[in-house]
């Protein structure tokens, strides 16, 4: 509430969980990711009711921490980390554990430069994912460029073929 200079946590973190990279999924639902109890997870919370769902990731907190975004039809999620530090990966977003599958490389120089994150985002059609790609040059500099990944009409085909 800007008028009262007030804010409140959407999700308590007194249980030792660490969360971040929040984003709006729809007018009442916020998505986020984090880790707790040695496992990674993706969560959603309804800001009006407080209802919260957290789906575990088998890839845990092994240093491939990524940024997430939900497909417009809410059937899948994309990340620039989790499975591998240099790939865009997607997973079906159902009631079970997240099963991410790499679909392309972004080559972010994670160990070299924290300023350039891929930050994948789905187009509202669900047909494209945009992200920032990186190229390490021989002189040690990092060149970044916008990327457009076109998905098949049913983006979950990727998870079935992998």
pTM reported for the whole predicted model: 0.79
Q: Residues 11-22: pLDDT tens digits?
A: 878 777 888 888
CA distance 100 to 59: 9
CA 101 to chain centre: 13
Q: What pLDDT is recorded for position 161?
A: 45
CA distance 126 to 39: 28
42-67 b/e (C-beta count within 10 Å ≥ 16 → b): bbbbeeeeeeeebbbbebebeebbbb
pLDDT of 25 strictly over 90: yes
Say if CB 56 and CB 98 are below 8 A apart: yes
Max mean pLDDT range (57-61, 84-88, 99-103, 151-155): 99-103
Weakest mean pLDDT among 24-28, 68-72, 115-119, 142-146: 115-119
Q: Residues 66-98: pLDDT tens digits?
A: 788 999 999 999 988 767 777 888 989 887 788
DSSP one-letter code for 9: -
Q: Is 93 exposed, middle or buried (0-12, 13-18, 19+ CB in 10 A)?
A: buried
């Amino acid at each position: 509430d800007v008028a009262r200079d007030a804010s409140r946590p959407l999700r308590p973190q007194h249980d030792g969980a660490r969360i971040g990279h929040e984003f709006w999924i729809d007018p009442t639902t916020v998505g986020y990711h984090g880790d707790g109890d040695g496992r990674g997870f993706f969560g959603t919370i309804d800001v009006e009711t407080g209802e919260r769902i957290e789906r575990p990731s088998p890839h845990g907190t092994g240093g491939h921490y990524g940024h997430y975004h939900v497909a417009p039809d809410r059937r899948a999620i994309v990340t620039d980390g989790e499975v591998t530090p240099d790939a865009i990966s997607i997973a079906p977003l159902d009631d079970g554990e997240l099963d991410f599958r790499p679909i392309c490389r972004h080559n972010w120089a994670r160990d070299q430069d924290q300023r350039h994150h891929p930050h994948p985002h789905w187009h509202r059609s669900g047909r494209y994912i945009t992200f920032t790609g990186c190229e390490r040059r021989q002189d040690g500099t990092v060149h970044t460029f916008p990327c457009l990944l076109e998905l098949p009409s049913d983006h979950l085909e990727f998870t079935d073929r992998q």
